[in-house]
Structure 1
Amino acid sequence: MSRPAIALQVYVLDTPDPSGLASFYAVLLGWDIDDAATDDDWVQLRAPAGGGLAFQLAPEFTPSTWPDDRVGLQAHLDLEVDDLDAAEEWVLRHGATRVVGPNPSPTFRTYRDPSGHLFCLVRSA
């Protein structure tokens, strides 16, 4: 049997505030909210090249407490940047908070978005 056509449509993040979190990532990434794929408990962003991120209402969402729980990041977004310092200033200005992990690196930094999801800024090679 050959592989059926399977493609990633969107990566979904649970949040108590889908509209607010979508706005946060829209500003960070410069993507537009897809009004045709949005309702009261679901907001979707479209990447210019296709795919994107979606934000699903989850009133009981509890973010990971990494690095305190030592379980690990589990799942997170890596966002590629040319300038770590400039990108850090941008994400902090728009509501992110810096997370100092157990393994500091000169090539990436870890943050929480306004709902508490972890993401990293990764310096491009």
Structure 2
Amino acid sequence: MSAVSLGAYVLDCPDPAALAGFYGALLDWPDLAVEPGAEWATLRDPGGGPALGFQRDPEVRASTWPSRERHQMAHLDFQVADLPAQHERALALGARLLDDSHESFWVYADPAGHPFCLCR
């Protein structure tokens, strides 16, 4: 076993509870009990993988991808079995489609503007 392992990937955002709710619904991870206005929220992977953390930063600005005006710096890739079905689900949860020109992945922005991909 490595001396270092990934415990969580953390996204800065204006509203940690709201963004944790979005990703919790997208991933079908259990509901998260976080107080509105909290500075931090964590979603734990029920399968034991790394957690997703959400840290309040009221000044964070959404990426303008694909424009390089405000870089994305990093993004999350989610594997899905049925891309069209998960596309509809992501949109219903509040994601915004950025690019569906590729067969193997489509790019979205979460409600706080972070890019992520749904990948076949």
Structure 2-normalised TM-score? 0.87
Answer whether contact 2:62 2:70 (CA < 8 A) is retained: no
Secondary structure of 1:114 counterpart: coil
The CA distance in 2 between the partners of 1:54 and 1:72, in whole Å, is 20
Poorly superposed stretches of 4+, deviation over 4 Å? 33-36, 70-73
The CA distance in 2 between the partners of 1:82 and 1:34, in whole Å, is 25
- 1:19 aligned onto 2:17: yes
Partner of 2:118: 121
Structure 1 residue 4 displacement after superposition: 6.3
Code of the residue aligned with 1:77 in structure 2: it is L
- 1:60 aligned onto 2:50: no
Aligned residues: 117
Partner of 2:74: 75
Q: Which residue, out of 45, 48, 59, partners 2:46?
A: 48
The CA distance in 2 between the partners of 1:120 and 1:9, in whole Å, is 21
Question: What is the alpha-carbon root mean square deviation over aligned residues?
Answer: 2.3
Secondary structure of 1:32 counterpart: coil
Secondary structure of 1:25 counterpart: helix
Secondary structure of 1:109 counterpart: strand
Answer whether contact 1:33 1:44 (CA < 8 A) is retained: no
Structure 1 residue 114 displacement after superposition: 0.3
The CA distance in 2 between the partners of 1:18 and 1:26, in whole Å, is 12
Structure 1 residue 5 displacement after superposition: 1.4
Structure 1 unaligned segments of length 5 or more: list them. Answer: none
Structure 1-normalised TM-score? 0.84
Answer whether contact 1:41 1:56 (CA < 8 A) is retained: yes
The CA distance in 2 between the partners of 1:16 and 1:24, in whole Å, is 13
Asked which structure has the greater CA Rg, the reply is: 1
